[in-house]
Structures are given as C-alpha cells and as structure tokens.
Structure 1
Amino acid sequence: MVGLVEPLIAAASVPAALAGWTVWRARAISRAFAPEGRFVPTRAGRLHLIDQGEGAVPAVFLHGASGSALAWRPALGAGLATLGRTVLVDRPGHGFSERQAGRAAARLDHQAGAVIDALDALGITQAVVVAHSWAGALACRLALDHADRVAGLVLIAPATHPWPGGVHWYYRVAASRLLGPLFSWTLALPVGEAWMGRSIAGVFSPQSIDTGYAESAGIPLVLRPAQFMANAQDVAGLLVQVRDQAQRYGAIACPVTVISGDKDGVVWTHLHSLGMARDVPQTKLIVLPDVGHGPHHADPALVTAEIQVLQQGRGETRPLLHGRAPVA
C-alpha cells in the first residue's frame, strides 16, 4: 500500500508546487506593473483607464488579445500626445480591469456596453475608437450598437470576419470550464514566460520588435491566471460572434479607416481588412507592404495621422436617419 501512496503523493505535489509558484509570480507581476490610471464603474466591474490630454473628440484605444492598455505606448510613443485627449482602456478582465460577468464578459455586446459606461463616467459623448486585432470586432460592435457615440473607427490589423479553422489549442484548453483553471494555475505562466520572446517575434514578423517591448507593453500581465483565462475566453468565443456580426456591417455609418500589413500571419488581411472594405462602403483601406501584425509599430506616424483625420471630422460618412444607421 505504501508503494502506491508515495507515487500518488509525488504526482500531486508537482501541480501543487506549480500552483504555489504561479501565485507568487503572478503577485510579483502585478506589483511590477502597478495601475497608473483611474478606475471607473461599469457593467463589467471597475475598468482601468489611462486618461490623458485634452481635446474635443478623444481617441479611445482598445487593445487586442494578450494585451492591455500599456501595449499602445511602445507602438505610438510620443504620437499619442499629438492626439489631444486619449483614453487607453484595459478591457474587462485584462490589465487591471475587473470582469464581474465571468464567462459572459467575452460577449462583444457586453464589452461594448462596458466601454460606453466608461465614456459616460468620463463625460465623453463621442470619440474616435482605435482598435487592434481582436478589438477590431469590438470596435465594430460599438459602431453598430452605439452609433451616436462613435465619430469614427481606426482598425489596425483587425479581426472582424469569420475565418476557416479555429484557434490555437491552448486557447481552447484555457477557456474550458474543467481544464482551464488547472492549466492556467500550473503551466501557463512558467511556459508563457519561457516562450514569450519567441511568441512576440512570431506575432510581429517580418518586423523586429525592440527587446524591451514585453516590459514596456506589460505583456507579462496576461500570464496571470485570471487574465490568461479571460483572454482565452475572448479569443475562443470570437469566431461564433463575428459570424453573426459581420452580416450587420453594412449598417455602420461612421467613417472607417483600416490599416493592415500584407504579411500579417496572425489575422489574415485578405479576409478581414478586405472584408471591411467590401462590406462597409465608406472604408478607407491602407495595406502596408512587407508589414505583419503591427502596422502601428511599423508606421506610427501614419496611424496617428489617420486618427487625427477622423478626430477632425474629415472622414467620409453616410447619413444617419433619426440617429440610427440606415440598413444597407
């Protein structure tokens, strides 16, 4: 009997040790990236926002998957200050924002509503919404459900349309009810830190990213168990949502600028960005040659200039009928 019990104890001690290390490491990461913005109440819980500058039409920035509000700084740098008032948002469950709705917080309508709640708290009636990657679908949902609050969309390498296949296996595992907590509290953080450099290089290829990017963009935050699961739920739940949402894109009435790279290996430009140009007639499509998933890193001056165009109301729009977008 002793010979059976000892291996079981040894086997159980491995995940217990990994979980203990994960708790310690996650706390250390949170301390290293202390919140520097303000918290506002929303339907998703308190959202963490970095609200800076002044301007009549603010630019509201929504980060993609595996990111936080900090991800915009190493990309746009000093260009952010040229945009007047900017609001960098930690989406629900990311960075230092709460995610009180649990798995339901992965719904685009829920996150869009939380962003509107945050704008209400800040006294912002209308803004240009700037979104990268996963958040492209969220920005479109804002323009569909809250058209009067969106002055324009700047979508950077956006995920907006259904795609063949699915998502990477670790998203499915981390998003599952049974295996998600076990995986996220034992393996995700140590393996994620070991592979972080290679993962970042793969995302932005063929561009190279500064060696300090992970720290300046707060990437380690996503490896904390709660955020890792939230991120996985967002990614795993996107495909089924954009299948339905993409059918409504003809109703988007605000000006839309899409900036993508022709070498994007993460979000396929020919499917998503060209899909926006096809489905939303007033879309301005800019495809940068030899650029991957980070057009805002490759040409930050271009991105900030296009944001300014929409802030100044110089984008093309279709008329609204009684405050509602016409059906295409």
Structure 2
Amino acid sequence: MISMFLVGTLALLAVLTRAGVAVLERRYPAQGQAINVEGATINLVDIGPRDSEKPPLLLLHGASSNLEAMRRPLGDLLARRHRVLLVDRPGHGWSPRLRPEDSTPAAQARMLDEALARLGVGQVVLVVHSWSGALGLRMALDFPDRVAGLVMLAPVAYPWRGGVGRYNEAVTAPVVGPLLAHTITLPLGLALMAPGARGVFAPQAMPDDFVDRTATPLLLRPREFIANARDLVTLKQAVIEQAPRYGEIKVPVTIVAGEADRTVYTDIHARPLAQVVPHSRLIVLPELGHMVQNAVPELVAGEVDRIVAAVATADAVAP
C-alpha cells in the first residue's frame, strides 16, 4: 500500500513538473540567436554598438543562472560603449547541451570558441563571474588567440575544501538523479530559490525583482538542473587539472572580489590567482559579497574600459 502511494505521489509530481516547465518556458521565452556547435546549441544575445576597432565583450554567467544574470545592470551599462555578447552557457538557459560529459570548463571553452567562430567574431574580452572564472581561464589557456583580456568577478580558480552540496551530488547519480529532477526539484526549488539567492547576495541586499528579472526559475527545469549540478560536481577536479597552467596566461587580467564573499572565498581563489598570472590586477573590496556585477557595476565597467584600452595600446605598438 505504501509503495503504491509513493508511486502515485511521484507520478503526480512528475505531471506537475511537466506542467510547471511549460509555464516557466512561456514566462521566460528564448531571446537572441541560436548557434549550433558540436554537442550543444548556444543561445547568444548581441547588444551595443558595432566597433571593429575594439574587441567585443563576452559576458559569461556563473552557476545556477543564465545570461540575464549578466545583462542587467552590467551588460546594459557596458553596451553603451561596447559590443556586448551575452550567452547562456551550454546546458543553461536556452543553450541545451547533448552530452553529460560536456560539463567542464574545457568542454564549454571549446563550444564557445566554436560559436564565436561561427558568428564571425575574432578576439574578445571576457567578463566572467563565479563558476565562469574557471571557464574564462580555460579559454585563455586553450584559445589564446581568441582572448584579448579577462575581467574576473568573484572567480573560481582553485580547488576548495568540501563539496558542492549533497543534493547536487544526488541529482547527478544514475536513476536517482533524474527521478529527483523530474519530481521534487521544481516545487522544492520554487520555495527555496529567493532565500538562497539572498544568501548569495549577502551582505548586499538582493533586488526585489532579481529572481523574476533574471529568469532564474528556468534553472528548475529537469534538464537544466541536472546540467547545473554536473557543472558543480565536476568543477573541483577541473580546476585541479588546469591550475598549474595559469602562469601561461599572457593577456591583461583584472580580478574584482569581495572580502565578505562567502560563496567563493577570495583567499582561496582571487588572491592566489593574482600572484601567479603575470599581467594581473587585483581589487578586493572589504564589504563586497559574491554578486559583484550587481553591487559595483560602475567599478566593473571602468575596469573593462581599462582592459579594452590596454588591448588597443598593445595592438597599436605590436609589430
């Protein structure tokens, strides 16, 4: 009797999840253009003026989010002076990925490089947040001709003590993971999403409309939730493998981090990174939390302008 009740409950939750996904996708429809690459389709939004004398900016969001998390206020602010490319990372938002193994920075760097080539874009300045710190570093290592500079916001760069949460680990397990993702993740996530986001913003206050404005509930769709969990579960080993190469990066790098960040600790990531990357500049603000692009967008925009100017100067004096 209990087993029949459990099966019936899970079936009902699965039906409700399918209906909920349909509602979410109507509320937050895809924007931009779809670019097919090996293993994924990249959703890209292209805003701002076209200026062939300056490299475009490629903005990359972190975990548990999509391109809208980088669009306002930072992307819109930068688009006043620069061409800005915003993408949903493979597996997130409206960029479905086909293979579970493509969760690593190396795999996603390859996909983004291919997408830029298909778009006809040459060098870019990367503006990366959190999880995508590892991705931006990997792009600079594997595709040095693609990356002209890096602006890193609370970046992940090194392994850390502990894991990434038991629920994320459970969702990546065979059988159990898809069962969780297709039944309880959406209703549970809707209840916990706003409190969780407020914790990531701390000590800054989260804007009241942040969750809705950034289409964050799209994360609760089963395929995206599994992809996000796999990104997190495989990240530590990925940075262990790539960290010894950081000294090879030759482009200018600016790192902006907060002393009060309790999501990606500055002492574990930003400070050690600044010590090994040759042309790096580190800015640590005492009261700043994890959401750098929301808390100090003007400061970030100024650092982006500085990197773009440095790239232009280097190009002008190059033989």
Task: Identify the match of residue 30 of structure 1 among 16, 19, 25.
Answer: 25
What is the CA–CA distance in structure 1 between the aligned matches of 2:102 and 2:26, rounded to whole Å?
A: 25
Would the aligned equivalents of 2:71 and 2:86 in 1 still touch at CA under 8 Å? Answer: no
RMSD of aligned residue pairs (Cα, Å): 1.4
1:97-176 equivalence runs, <5 A: 97-100=95-98, 102-176=99-173
What amino acid is the match of 1:8?
S
**Is 2:262 the partner of 1:265?**
yes
Structure 1 position 75, deviation (Å): 3.6
Q: How far apart, in 2, do the equivalents of 1:284 and 1:137 lie?
A: 17
Contact 2:32 2:43 in 1 (8 A): yes
* Aligned 8 A contact 1:73 1:216 in 2: no
Contact 2:133 2:156 in 1 (8 A): yes
Q: CA deviation at 1:83?
A: 3.8
User: In the alignment, which of 298, 302, 313 is matched to residue 301 of structure 1?
Assistant: 298
Instruction: State TM-score, norm by structure 2.
Output: 0.94
Report the residue type matching 1:60 in the other structure: L
The amino acid of 1:204's aligned partner reads F
Structure 2 counterpart SS, 1:245: helix
The DSSP-based 3-state class of the residue aligned with 1:24 is: helix
In 1: Cα distance, 2:73 partner to 2:96 partner: 25
Matched, 1:242 2:239: yes
Aligned to 1:72: 70
Residue 227 of structure 1, CA deviation: 0.2
CA distance in 1, matches of 2:274, 2:312: 14
Which residue identity is paired with 1:74? R
* 1:18 counterpart residue number: 13
TM-score norm. by structure 1 comes to 0.92
Partner of 1:59: 57
Q: Given residue 267 of structure 2, which amino acid in structure 1 is its aligned partner?
A: H
* 1:215 has 2:208 as partner: no
Letter in 2 for 1:87: L
Contact 1:58 1:311 in 2 (8 A): no
Change over 3 Å in CA distance of 1:75–1:174 after alignment to 2: farther
Q: How many Å apart are 1:244 and its aligned residue?
A: 1.2
Query: Tell me, what secondary structure is at the counterpart of 2:182?
Result: helix
TM-superposed deviation, 1:314: 5.2
Query: SS where residue 169 of structure 2 aligns?
Result: helix
Percent identity, aligned pairs only, is: 39
| Structure 1 runs (4+) greater than 3 angstroms displaced | 314-317
Q: Tell me the alpha carbon deviations over residues 137-159 of structure 1, each in whole angstroms, 9 at most, x when there is no partner.
A: 00000000000110101110001
- Paired residues, what number? 311
TM superposition shift of 1:210? 0.9
Indicate conservation of the 8 Å contact 2:250/2:278, yes or no.
no
Aligned counterparts of 1:286 and 1:315: Cα–Cα separation in 2:
22
Offset of residue 219 of structure 1:
0.5
Instruction: Please report how far the alpha carbon of residue 228 of structure 1 lies from its aligned counterpart in structure 2 after TM superposition.
Output: 0.1
Q: CA deviation at 1:208?
A: 0.2
Amino acid at match of 1:311: V
Shift of 1:78: 3.7
CA distance in 2 between counterparts of 1:253 and 1:160 reads 16
Unaligned runs of 5+ in 2: 315-319
In 1, Cα distance between equivalents of 2:199 and 2:73:
17
Inter-partner Cα distance in structure 1 for 2:2 and 2:239: 47
Rounded Cα–Cα distance in structure 2 between residues aligned with 1:78 and 1:115? 21
Residue of structure 2 aligned with 1:44, choices 36, 39, 45: 39
Q: Which moved more, 1:170-179 or 1:131-140?
A: 170-179
The CA distance in 1 between the partners of 2:152 and 2:81, in whole Å, is 16
**Matches of 1:159 and 1:22, distance apart in 2:** 32
* Structure 1: 5+ residue stretches without partners: 1-5, 318-328
Aligned partner of 1:282: which letter? H
Q: Kindly state the Cα deviation for residue 315 of structure 1 after the two structures are TM-superposed.
A: 8.9
Distance in 2 (CA, whole Å) between partners of 1:115 and 1:314 is 21
For 1:149, give the aligned amino acid: R
Tell me if structure 2 keeps the 8 A contact 1:174–1:183.
yes
1:91 is matched with: 89
Amino acid of the structure 1 residue aligned with 2:45: I
Q: Which amino acid aligns with 2:237?
A: V
CA distance in 2, matches of 1:149, 1:268: 28
1:45 Cα offset (Å): 2.0
- The question of whether the paired residues in 2 share the 8 Å contact of 1:44 and 1:99 is answered with yes
Does 2:224 correspond to 1:230?
A: no
Give 1:77 deviation, angstroms: 5.8
